[in-house]
Structure 1
């Protein structure tokens, strides 16, 4: 019997249950995958609390890495024994497990220089960072980015990648400890939003002009400050809603604040095309394998500690990436 984490009702971390399951043989288009590590992402909490509605009961987690144990009929992209990683949405839900059946389509073969633990810590965050840096905006050397949650998993990757592109990075954090982490990973300036006015400081740091792009993963609590930090015709990228969803607003607001642009992208739409997914994965894995971008795994949990892991995540106790070690 294998171990898995499931939930039968939406709610707080306490709804997560550890259960025993029998994993059978893979069907057409499937593989049986034995996990070595599983990613812990803030998006997991959206499934658990009902922000992302799904039929219940359901598995938890959408990212993991391990070894292919068996392949079903029609599978051609991977073979038994391959080291693979994956991330996705409904088609990969159920990652919090020791082993599982999963469609073969989302699986990505791991290059030799990337361990399963590193892959579980970076596949979702890395692909998210890749589309943010390579698809969202035509960045030019010297552009300035305001990056919320700069000490988080995506934040640390984006800040390092931004420095490779010659960008100036202003990161926001909630504590001095997180500020030190952000600075160590490429942030040129750090704003501690627990006692500093984000928009005011962003304006001061850009000589009153504002930033070219804001990457906002916080949502409700930072939305207006993010808009007020942008230069004329700047781009607001809403990449998450950690503090809650953004309330409805009149689009006229964007015109009033400088003909701003706004987008709410989703990773699924940037990896839907296999060729584009392979290109983005190749870029981030290449940077990591070469040491140009470092993946910080600062929290490791056992699968049975899923409730505590979610509590830590939602209380913002974590920095960098978190994984379940199987």
Structure 2
């Protein structure tokens, strides 16, 4: 089968198209014929070695497709079912594996490509708004990279919960997308420092929460944007990992809260995964949640897809098509 393989860590050029034998599903696993794989920043962390993997490996966690084979001990699933997962193994391939416990069935009204585009980032947006910092109608939230895949979904979900949304993005073109998603205010932070502007928009008080996926380059300003006892949710490293932080900094900035969540801890069991995915797919099927696919790349152009993502040239989701 055709698959991308990483033999050494490094830049996008290490993503090499290869012919590999089909993976065999082990106990508790299913094999899926991949219709589309979702590209996520965590894939770049695996590629560079920031999050170490055993070499060689096929990258990719998120995909949608149809079940091709069942491993030993798998019950309740059937060959041919339409499924998606945010926690698969080797998504950049024609065939990939997934733990049965991390699969979700797709409603008839949800397209396979849209499922691959929405699941991991949609689940992330869901846990951020519903669980990490539970948004209320009285809250003001700041969302960095608001024109990205998670950002556009998080803006919409935050508005569903009645919160006031301040979206940050890097250009006027992206600002238009963020406004269309429902943001109350948009700051182009390449044109002006965003912390003073957030203070101005909140009458000097600061935001209740900042959802920050950018990392090193926005961390300090994100802290400066918060009200006393506000929360910084640092959930990504798009500009690089945040350097070590003294707890005393949180005290001097207003007794702030800081958390670094990850999806695995917010989809810890089938019940939680199905709750979050069920909400997403219902909203999508009802036309209440818009999923933006920025572009699709054939599998052979995985390196180009990574370059586009890392250069922040994308708005919404990037898909790889085997």
Instruction: Give yes or no for contact 1:235–1:261 (8 Å, CA) kept in 2.
Output: yes
Aligned equivalent of 1:258: 254
**Contact 2:128–2:134 (CA under 8 A) maintained in structure 1:** no
Aligned twin of 1:47: 46
Q: Which residue of 1 aligns with 2:83?
A: 84
Name the residue aligned to 2:238.
Answer: 242
- Measured at CA, do residues 24 and 242 of structure 1 come closer, stay the same or move farther in structure 2, by a change above 3 Å? closer
- Asked whether the 8 Å contact 1:150–1:156 carries over to 2, the reply is yes
In structure 2, the partner of 1:323 is 319
Residues 18-97 of structure 1 mapped to structure 2, 5 A cutoff? 18-23=17-22, 25-88=24-87, 92-97=88-93
How far apart are 1:31 and its partner, in Å? Answer: 2.0
Distance 2:264 2:199 in 1: 33
Query: Paired residue for 2:131?
Result: 135
Query: Cα 1:143–1:311, aligned 2, differ >3 Å: closer, same or farther?
Result: same
Assess, with a 3 A threshold, how the Cα gap between structure 1 residues 101 and 161 changes in structure 2: closer, same or farther: closer
Q: Contact conserved, 2:89 with 2:97, CA < 8 A, in 1?
A: no
Query: Does 2:278 match 1:278?
Result: no
In the alignment, what sits opposite 1:9? 8
CA distance in 2 between partners of 1:25 and 1:50 (Å): 26
1:229 counterpart (211, 225, 228): 225
Whole-Å separation in 2 of the counterparts to 1:25 and 1:15: 25
Which residue of 1 is the match for residue 107 of structure 2? 111
- 8 A Cα contact 1:61 1:96, kept in partner: yes
- What is the CA–CA distance in structure 2 between the aligned matches of 1:187 and 1:212, rounded to whole Å? 16
Question: How far apart, CA to CA, are the structure 2 residues paired with 1:24 and 1:256?
Answer: 53
* Matched ranges for 1:286-301 at <5 A: 286-301=282-297
Residues 1:82 and 1:175: Cα distance change in structure 2 (over 3 Å): same
Contact kept? 1:23, 1:101, Cα under 8 Å: no
Q: Helix, strand or coil for the counterpart of 1:135? A: helix
Map of 1:156 onto structure 2: 152
Separation in structure 2 between the aligned mates of residue 286 and residue 156 of structure 1, nearest angstrom: 17
- Could you tell me how far apart the structure 2 residues matched to 1:39 and 1:24 are? 19
Separation (CA, whole Å) in 1 of partners of 2:134 and 2:263: 18
* More displaced 10-residue stretch of structure 1: 76-85 or 145-154: 76-85
**TM-score normalized with structure 1 length:** 0.96
User: What is the RMSD computed on CA atoms of the aligned residues?
Assistant: 1.1
Secondary structure at the aligned position of 1:140 is classed as coil
Once the two structures are TM-superposed, the CA of residue 316 in structure 1 deviates from its matched residue by 0.5
Q: Structure 1 CA distance, aligned partners of 2:31 and 2:40? A: 23
Shift in Å, 1:85? 0.2
TM-score normalised per structure 2:
0.97
Q: Deviations over 1:220-263 (max 9, x none)?
A: 00001000000111010001011111111211111111111110
In structure 2, distance between residues paired with 1:31 and 1:248? 40
| Aligned with 1:120 (options 102, 113, 116) | 116
Unaligned runs of 5+ in 1: none
CA–CA separation in structure 1 for the residues paired with 2:109 and 2:140:
32
8 Å Cα contact 2:102-2:273 kept in structure 1 = no
Specify the alignment match of 2:142 in structure 1: 146
Q: What do the CA deviations read for 1:280-316 (whole angstroms, capped 9, x no partner)?
A: 1111111111111110111111111101000000001
Residues 132-169 of structure 1: CA distance to partner in whole angstroms, max 9, x if unpaired?
A: 11111232213110000000000000101111111111
Distance 1:141 1:256, change over 3 A: same
Quote the residue 1:312 is aligned against. Answer: 308
